[in-house]
Amino acid sequence: AQSVAQPEDQVNVAEGNPLTVKCTYSVSGNPYLFWYVQYPNRGLQFLLKYITGDNLVKGSYGFEAEFNKSQTSFHLKKPSALVSDSALYFCAVSGGYQKVTFGTGTKLQVIP
């Protein structure tokens, strides 16, 4: 069975500092990997995905994620955090055209 782990319930980072939100996965075959963001009182928005190709994927709002096959990780990163980045972030995986499985979410708090 496929699974996603987001080991940190919450990440705090100072505004202007780089941020990383961690995600590891387990899936049979080649993974399709996703990041979503949920701002307070809003629905989930798709940020970026990895299907194949370059290991560094760029997405919306200046976010990027790095696929690491050997470590089965897909960490979300941003070079310089903004207060407006404060939100709940979800990592997700699917094995091909299968059901997408979501992680438990990481709350990102950017401190002014």
Partner 1 sequence: GAGVSQSPSNKVTEKGKDVELRCDPISGHTALYWYRQSLGQGLEFLIYFQGNSAPDKSGLPSDRFSAERTGGSVSTLTIQRTQQEDSAVYLCASSLAGRTGGKVNTEAFFGQGTRLTVV
The residues that touch partner 1, with contacts defined as CB under 8 A, are 32, 34, 36, 42-46, 49, 51-52, 88, 90, 92, 94, 96-97, 99-105, 107
For partner 1, the closer CB: 3 or 71: 3
For partner 1, the closer CB: 32 or 63: 32
Minimum gap (Å) between residue 80 Cβ and partner 1: 26
Minimum gap (Å) between residue 98 Cβ and partner 1: 8
For partner 1, the closer CB: 46 or 61: 46
Minimum gap (Å) between residue 11 Cβ and partner 1: 15
Q: Give the separation between CA 86 and CA 38, rounded to whole angstroms.
A: 9
Q: Are 17 and 64 in contact, with CB atoms under 8 Å apart?
A: no
For partner 1, the closer CB: 7 or 96: 96
DSSP string covering the chain, please? --EEE---SEEEEETTS-EEE--EEE-SSSEEEEEEEE-TTS-EEEEEEE-SS-SEEE-GGG-EEEEETTTTEEEEEESS--GGG-EEEEEEEEESSS--EE---EEEEEE-
Minimum gap (Å) between residue 16 Cβ and partner 1: 26
Amino acid (one-letter) located at 88: L
